[in-house]
Amino acid sequence: MHSAPLAAIPLLILACCASIPGFENPKTRAAVWALVYELEGSTSMQSGGIPVDNPPMTLGRFGIGNGDTGFGMRLSRGDGFSGLELDYTVIDDDTIAGGTLTQDWGDLMAGDTVNTQFRMYDLRLRWMLGQTWIDESEEWGVGLGLGAIFGHRELTMDVVEVNGLRGQSLEMKDDGAIYLAIRSRISHSGVTLTADYAFSDGMNFGGDFEGTQEDLQIALSYTPENQRMELFAGFQYSGFPGEGRQGNLKYRNDFSLEGYFLGLSMTF
């Protein structure tokens, strides 16, 4: 006898969404992009049967930082400014030239020449609410929005001495983090400049990423007249410090990623 009220719930949700910015006339968009980036920062890890603290080393000592490629994809539902967005980014960095350690790092020793594989997976669900102002006579548009992001990140760093004598791995992940997001946009005659900034200052559900996590993305896009396709390119920066334990060894990292991306999106 409760079927009627339950059946009304989806209709109520749709009615509410229709009054939320971005959902009045929503469209579905899919985007993919390639990312050329550099990983920067430092890391330290204890060593020894009785753990001993070690000074930090830059990622360059591991052979990381000479530039590599990754990719990302997005599925969104909204008006292109406000709405829901699901992002997935993959970073996979294999060193070609080995680095030489200047400090002990886990089971690895100062003076070891090493090769490193760095992988990171980043999943984001973003909800943006904003307002746009359009001057149709001059073809100008301006937008400003606020939102929230639920994110999940996993990172692995496998380091092996070049002769295979020893190795050390680092694994980091979170149990989910909440970011506050800000978006601004200006457009004219099919050309749009968008800036997105997000930060999380300890707003997480546990895990190995600590401190302030930051993301900055600046994108320039072009949509040909009467076309559903959009081309975009821009700059991205992410900072993700963290600390935890690998086995019984404590580690502390201060990692960041910055680079450039080029992509394509389609509206359905």
CATH code, domain with 56: 2.40.128
Pair of tokens at residue 161 = 């001495």
What's residue 16's pLDDT?
53
Asked if pLDDT for residue 84 goes beyond 90, the answer is yes
For residue 166, being part of any structural domain is answered with: yes
Give the pLDDT confidence score for residue 194 in this predicted structure: 97
Q: In terms of residue numbers, what domain contains 119? A: 25-267
CA–CA separation, 186 and 189 (whole Å): 11
Residues 93 and 59: their CA atoms lie apart, in Å, by 12
Kindly state whether residue 165 falls inside one of the protein's structural domains: yes
Single out the residue of 265, 267, 256 nearest to residue 37, CA to CA: 256
Residue 9 lies in a domain: no
Is residue 41 assigned to a domain? yes
pTM (2 decimals)? 0.86
pLDDT band at 132 (very low <50, low <70, confident <90, very high): confident
Residue 45 CB neighbour total at 10 angstroms: 25
The dihedral over CA atoms of 87, 158, 255, 259, expressed in degrees to the nearest 10, equals -50
DSSP string, 48-64: TTTTB----EEGGGGT-
Instruction: Determine the pLDDT at residue 229.
Output: 94
Residue 2 lies inside a defined structural domain of this protein: no
Please give the tally of structural domains in the chain.
Answer: 1
Query: Do 99 and 64 contact (CB within 8 A), yes or no?
Result: yes
Residue 40 and residue 255 in contact, taking contact as beta carbons nearer than 8 Å: yes
Q: Does residue 117 form part of some domain? A: yes
> What CA–CA distance (Å, rounded) separates 179 from 152?
11
Looking at the domain assignment, is residue 4 inside a domain? no
The residue written with tokens 């830059």 in the block is 58
Tens digit of pLDDT for each residue in 224-265? 988 899 999 999 999 999 999 999 999 999 999 999 999 999
User: Any residues with CB less than 8 A from the CB of 166 and at least 6 apart, and which?
Assistant: 107, 108, 109, 112, 160
Domain membership flag for residue 7: no
Give pLDDT tens digits for 159-199: 999 999 999 999 999 999 999 999 999 999 889 999 999 99
* The token pair that represents 147 in the structure block: 């939102």
**Which of 39-48, 61-70, 102-111 shows the lowest mean pLDDT across its residues?**
61-70
